[in-house]
Each structure stands twice: as structure tokens, then as C-alpha cells.
Amino acid sequence: MRPQRLVQGNEACAHAALYAGCNFYAGYPITPSSEVMEILAQEMPRRGRVFIQMEDEIASISAIIGAAWGGARVLTATSGPGFSLMQEGLGYAAITETPCVIVNCQRWGPSTGQPTKGAQGDVLQAIWGTHGDHPVIVLTASAVRDVFDMTVRAFNLAEEYRVPVVLLMDEMVAHMRENIDWPEPGEIPVFERRKPADPATFKPFGGDEFVPFGTGARFHVTGLAHGPEGFAVADENAARELKRMVGKIRDNVLKLTMVDRYRLDDATIALVAYGITSRPAQSAVDLLRDQGIKAGLLSLKTLWPFPDDAVREVARRVETIVVPELNLGQLVREIERSAAGMCGVIHVGRVDGHLLTPTQIAQGALQQEAVRA
Amino acid sequence: MSEDYRRFLRLNQLPHVWCPGCGNGMIVKSLLEAINELRLDQDRVVVVSGIGCSGRTPFVLDFNTMHTTHGRAIAFATGIKLANPELHVIVVMGDGDASAIGGNHFIHACRRNLDLTALVFNNGIYGLTGGQLAPTTPMGKRSTTSLGGSIEPAFDLVRLALGAGAAFVARTTSFDHKQCTSLIKRAISHHGFGVVDVLTSCPTYFGRMNDVAEPYDMVHYLRDTSAPAHDSACDHGPPPDTSLLPTGIFRDEERPDYAVLYRQKIAAATSERRAS
């Protein structure tokens, strides 16, 4: 028997970070993400790693970026209001190509909203929240084991591509408990930071290698537009660097994106869901199939870069795409863009702080069927 | 005595952006003298700055350098130092940087007592953005956003740092070069969070708005509005209540810094883990 553990999403996230070699956490308490921090406050010192509680979320993200340049693998976790404060640091991490992981356990509404109620309202903020064009990877998770795997993946991608990676959880998956297969050490690959052959001639930007401070390569890191040496550039050189940074994500969509497919082969209706909403969506597929309707599910695990090819491939084959989200319509816009008129796209939203049920999703799909008939 | 400080400079990044008559260059000279006299390993020195005129300091210095976001330099430095305690982390901030947008980070760093050196290049105005009111602009002084004279009391950064619990607190001026070098050296040598409030001259904005536009007059202004509080820069005690800004060391307390306490925490946690 494989070892199993009954754990909460936040617990899985914290332990996955340890598994991925995270050795620096800085954070600020906020519902519903605080368990990640509480667990790491205990576990990090036990392993000789660093945990620090900062004075706010701006300090937290600043500290992890500093720690990354000090040589650490770094994490912070937060929720909506804290994530808003972190946008400043997220932009700095993007332009300085600093590997770091930011977990956002989404909660309801703008401002303080409803701290204990889940939502999927920060999707576009995670992609576009900080000012200016920038590279970022946004992942999501729909189950507790998925949280573990996606947290490790977040570290791996942050290190491999030298970008900030946002793992979008939500209050439901954060606080949900499930019995999961506990990964053995070595079972999930952990990406080791690329080091240059000669640190002395290392150029801090423009490559995928990374050298921290104190190794003999004295260099400059800045949030200003900069060239490979880290010093300010303008005009076409600034444009070249920005395109290169965004290109790291844009040119690697197929490598970066992950989707799950469920009963899609002969489907005429496709549900396209992500995060916790993939769970009731999967049950909705079964409900619809029981009624003789050929439904299937495309579950998106990467939200940015957007898995255009996967969505387009589905849009070509089905009559309707149904997008259930715990918001008033966010990722549906990307899906409509990808579908490009090849099929109908409808949104089924819920924003009362509760999960969409399989029946609600199925009914949303059926109403659309009725309209078309 | 003729040390060649060019080895600490990125000569290809010169000229710097500071105006003629700016005091920042004098502070940087003091910093380099302190680093030289302390024989710090150039590869292990990290200079972290925020945004503003002072933020441009690390561009020209040949250490590990990081130009961060406005007000956050201390928070970034906290991460660097904790990730690699072998590094000498020196934070360079402006007065607006340290006490307005970064005030929260500043007071918590004072309280936390991590082994960082924080230098505030305090010109009493926002220089890089064109001369606006700062929290350190003396009451009555003019800026582009307080043309009739400021009606806000100014922050006294020494009292702020003392109140927030900083273990080493000093003030000097870019005018008193010997004192400036000596206090920066003391702050770097101190184990724990060390703050040096360095009053510096901005003839371009503070000076032009306040009838001290000539760099020479601005230097005299620094001299005439401050006074050593004690006979020697090495004495310390609470700042006396005078109309002149007292300079010198106002606290020099050796106590276990954050990293020492954190290492003790690791030792306790790992032995507890082995026992369980």
C-alpha cells in the first residue's frame, strides 16, 4: 500500500513546497491561506530553512525576491487583498526574472469581500494585475493531490523559466480535506536551478541560468528596463528585452500548458473548467451523459499562458462550450477568443460564495441546448 | 593615505545622475572609505536601494547591487540577508523612501534587529520627482507641493528609529565627512540593525525653494542647522532637545540579532525533531 494521508489543500501546498526544496518563506497572515504559513512556521526551522513573518504582503513578496537573489527557493502565500498588494513585487519579479512562487487562495469579492467564502475572481488579475506587459505563469488546482503536484510544478517552472509563478487556489480547495497518495521523495521530479559554467563572466539577464549574490559575479539587478548586464537601456533595446521576457512564456505555450480531458472524444457539448469548478463539472458531464447528451470536460490546469490549442481543438468539434466559473465571467473571455466563433460559448457563473453544483452546470448547458433547438 | 577607490566603482556607469552640489557623492565616498577600512570582501558586499536620487547609488558601485521598488529596499534586504547571512547587506534609502512609502518596513526592521546597515540619504525633499514635500521637510520650508511653507511637523528619523527599537542609531551630515565615515563604519560593524540618518544637501530643489540655492550655501546650511551632541562621535545618549539637529551616536546596543535568534530556533526545532 502506498502511504496515504488525509490532508487539507493548504497542508498539501505547504508540504509540496518543502518537497520542492523551498527553503525560504515570507508571508503575512490572511484568510483563507494562513494554514500554509502556520505549517511552514513549524516545518521550516525543523529543516534548517528560513521562515519569516513580515509586516505586510508588500514586504513578504519583496523579501522572497531578495531571498531568491540570496540563493533561496522561495514562496509566499496569500489571498485577494494581499495579492492586490503583491502586484508591485510581482512586476519586479517579472522584470528581474526572479524565480518565485506566489500562492493565492482566492476569496470572494473585491476589497475585504467575504474572507471565508471561495471564488475564482482573481483570474485576470493573476495574469494582468501588475502594470505593463510582463511574463507570468498562472496555474490552478482542483483537488488536494492536484495542489501537491501543481505546487511542485510551480517551483519547477519558476526555476526553469526564471519567472514568477502564481498558483491560483481558492478557499474551497484550500480547506477541503481529501485522502491522497503521499508522494515519495524523488517520485515527482524537482528541477534544479541552472548554473553557469563560469560565474565570473555570468550575465544576470538574457539567459536561463541563475547565480545568486555572493558567488563572485558582481552584477546589478534593477526594476528599470535593462540589458543583459542589468544596466538601464531604452528605445529598441528596451523593446527587445521586453519581447524576450514575454517570449519565454509566449513561445513555450505547448510545453507550459497542461489540460485534462474527460469523455471528450464524441462530445457535442464541452464543459471547459478549471480549479475547484472542474470537480462539479466532471459530475455534470456524467449527469448529461445519463440524459443521452454527449458532454465532455476539458479541465485547464494552466491558465497562463492560455492553452489556446487545446481549447481550439475542442471548439472545432463541438457545438457548444459551457464555461462554469465562480465569477461573473473572466476566463470565458479567453475561451471565446480561442473558439473564434467555431462554436457557441456560454458562461455559467455563481458568486454567492458557494460551489456550482453538477446540476446547476448541467442545467446551464441544457438551457443553451433548448435555446438552440 | 591615497587609497584608490576606483576599484569599488563601475567606471563604465559614470557619470552618475546627481546634480552639481548634491551631497550624495560625499556619503558614497564615506561608505567606500568605511568598506575599505573594514576590509570587507567586495564579493560579499550587497548594496540595496529603493527609488529616488539615493536609489541611483548602487548603479555605480562594483558590489552585488540591487535597485528595488520605492520604499521596499529593507524588505528585499531582509530576504537577501536571511538567505545568505555571510553577506554584508547595506541598504541605501532616501528620506521619503524610508519614512513615507517605506515607513512600515523601516520601523519593523528597527524592531526585528536583523544585521543590516540602513543609510538614509536625508535631503528633506523629493529630489528625483522635482522637489515635493517629504515627511522630513522641516515645518515652514517650501517645496513644489508646499509653496507657502510646510504646515506638517517633520519626522525626526533618529527618534523614530529609537522609538521603534533599533539597536544602533546615529545621525551625521554629508558636510561632516570624517564623522560620516566614522559613523557608517560603526553601523556596519555593529551586529544588528544599524541606522545612520545622513543629512545631505539638495541645492537644486531644497536649496532653490528655500534661499540656499548655491551648493556652498547649502553645505553651510547643513553645518549651521546641526550640531554634534557629544564630544566625540563614539559617545552616545538620548538626543538633546535643541533647535539644532543633534548628530552623533544615540544608541549602540549589542544584543542577539534576528539571525542569531533564528539559528537558536533551528537548533531547538531540529533537536525536538530528532527526539520525536
What ipTM was estimated for this complex? 0.97
A-chain residue closest to B61, CA distance: A220
User: Is A55 within 8 Å of chain B by CB?
Assistant: yes
Residue whose C-alpha is closest to residue A205's, from A170, A229, A237, A231: A229
Contacts of A22 in chain B (CB under 8 A): none
Rounded-to-integer distance, Cα A63 and Cα A85, Å? 14
Residue A214: give the domain boundaries: 199-251
Q: Provide CB contacts within 8 A for B207, sequence distance 6+.
A: B21, B201, B213, B214, B215, B217, B218, B221
Contacts of the segment B252-255: beta carbons below 8 A, 24+ positions apart: B252/B167, B252/B168, B252/B186, B252/B190, B253/B167, B253/B168, B253/B192, B254/B167, B254/B190, B254/B191, B254/B192, B255/B113, B255/B167, B255/B192
More confident residue, A197 or B225: B225
Per-residue pLDDT at B96 exceeds 90:
yes
User: Is B259 within 8 Å of chain A by CB?
Assistant: no
Q: Shortest CB distance from A70 goes to which of B59, B83, B268?
A: B83
CB contact under 8 A, A55 and B105: yes
User: Is B4 within 8 Å of chain A by CB?
Assistant: no
Residue A193 lies in a domain: no
Residue A175 lies in a domain: yes
Per-residue confidence (pLDDT) for residue B59, from 0 to 100: 97
Determine the 3-state secondary structure of A261 from DSSP.
strand
Per-residue confidence (pLDDT) for residue B20, from 0 to 100: 95
Task: Note whether A244 and A264 are same-domain residues.
Answer: no
Task: Note whether A167 and A278 are same-domain residues.
Answer: no
Rounded-to-integer distance, Cα A339 and Cα A311, Å? 7
Per-residue confidence (pLDDT) for residue B276, from 0 to 100: 72
State the average pLDDT over residues A160-171: 98
The 10s digit of each residue's pLDDT in A76-103 is: 999 999 999 999 999 999 999 999 999 9
Residue A104 lies in a domain: yes
Task: Note whether A151 and A226 are same-domain residues.
Answer: no
pLDDT band at A304, cuts 50/70/90? very high
Domain end, chosen from A217, A251, A285, is at A251
Task: Note whether A29 and A135 are same-domain residues.
Answer: yes
pLDDT band at B233, cuts 50/70/90? very low
Rounded-to-integer distance, Cα A226 and Cα A181, Å? 45
CB contact under 8 A, A215 and B42: no
CA distance B78 to chain A (A): 6
Residue A60 lies in a domain: yes
Task: Note whether A24 and A172 are same-domain residues.
Answer: yes
Average pLDDT along chain A: 96
Task: Note whether A223 and A145 are same-domain residues.
Answer: no
Task: Note whether A176 and A84 are same-domain residues.
Answer: yes
The number of domains in chain A is 3
User: Is A90 within 8 Å of chain B by CB?
Assistant: no
Contacts of B48 in chain A (CB under 8 A): 66
Task: Note whether A140 and A275 are same-domain residues.
Answer: no
Contact assessment for residue A142 and residue A278, using Cβ atoms and an 8 Å cutoff: yes
Q: Shortest CB distance from A67 goes to which of B44, B83, B262?
A: B83
Task: Note whether A129 and A221 are same-domain residues.
Answer: no
Task: Note whether A238 and A273 are same-domain residues.
Answer: no
Per-residue pLDDT at A211 exceeds 60:
yes
Per-residue pLDDT at B230 exceeds 80:
no
CB contact under 8 A, A48 and B270: yes
A14: enclosing H helix or E strand: helix A9-19
The residues facing B47 across adjacent strands are B65, B90
Residue A186 lies in a domain: no
State the average pLDDT over residues A176-194: 95
Mutate to test the interface with A, among B9, B57, B64 (most CBs of A within 10 A): B64
CB contact under 8 A, A58 and B75: yes
Per-residue confidence (pLDDT) for residue B235, from 0 to 100: 54
Residue whose C-alpha is closest to residue B73's, from A204, A222, A216: A222
Q: In this structure, what DSSP letter does residue B160 have? A: H
Q: Provide CB contacts within 8 A for A236, sequence distance 6+.
A: none
Q: Shortest CB distance from A223 goes to which of B69, B81, B272?
A: B69
Q: Shortest CB distance from A48 goes to which of B67, B69, B266?
A: B266
Contacts of A47 in chain B (CB under 8 A): 270
Q: Provide CB contacts within 8 A for B163, sequence distance 6+.
A: none
Contacts of A70 in chain B (CB under 8 A): 79-84, 87
Contact assessment for residue B67 and residue B103, using Cβ atoms and an 8 Å cutoff: no
A-chain residue closest to B60, CA distance: A220
Contacts of B265 in chain A (CB under 8 A): 45
Residue A194 lies in a domain: no
Contacts of B75 in chain A (CB under 8 A): 54, 58-60, 62-63, 66
User: Is A88 within 8 Å of chain B by CB?
Assistant: yes
Task: Note whether A167 and A203 are same-domain residues.
Answer: no
Q: Shortest CB distance from B67 goes to which of A42, A88, A223?
A: A223
Instruction: Give start and end residues of each alpha helix (H) in B130-257.
Output: 157-164, 177-189, 208-209, 215-225
CA distance A67 to chain B (A): 4
The vertex-A278 CA angle with A275 and A279, nearest 5°, equals 110
Rounded-to-integer distance, Cα B135 and Cα A91, Å? 27
State the average pLDDT over residues B176-182: 97
The CATH number for B5-275, chosen from 3.40.47.10, 3.40.50.970, 3.30.70.20, 3.30.360.10, is 3.40.50.970
Biggest CA–CA distance in chain B, Å, is 71
Per-residue pLDDT at A227 exceeds 50:
yes
Task: Note whether A246 and A264 are same-domain residues.
Answer: no
Cell of B55: 536609489
